[in-house]
Amino acid sequence: MLFGDEHVRRYEATDGAEGHDWVNDAPVLILTTTGRKTGKERKLALIYQEHRGGYVVVASKGGADAHPDWYHNLVDDPEVKVQVKAERFSARARTVAGAEREELWQEMAKVWPDYDNYRAKTERQIPVVVLDPVG
């Protein structure tokens, strides 16, 4: 099973042939943010779902009490890069709220049921983010 930097490396090297279909066939994309402190590119593999021409990801951090660094990065600079299989594109990240958030949460929990467990572990509201392609 692939994790972390090795997951990103193999995904990029094979255009997603290795790493797109992850545990329990959950689909994975590569998200590249700009580090808010370093200005360097930060890449990670995230479970996703397509949504109205964009892609939904969840900033769960396994139910930790703090948001993941990548989420802070895209809040600071919402212009990101995304790779889905062999397709690479720029996108703008936006955190959703209200009914849209709940609808997308339910869709993501169908793909990765542990999201509901993560939500139960923390008092923070876990962000749901839509990556809308630009350009």
- Quick: pLDDT tens for 56-106: 999 999 999 999 999 999 999 999 999 999 999 999 999 999 999 999 999
Q: 94: burial class by Cβ within 10 Å (0-12, 13-18, 19+)? A: middle
Whether this prediction's pTM lies above 0.95 is answered by: yes
Domain count of the fold of the chain? 1
Task: Tell me the CATH number at 76.
Answer: 2.30.110.10
- Quick: pLDDT tens for 12-38: 999 999 999 999 999 999 999 999 999
Q: 33: burial class by Cβ within 10 Å (0-12, 13-18, 19+)? A: buried
Identify the domain containing residue 66 by its residue range: 4-133
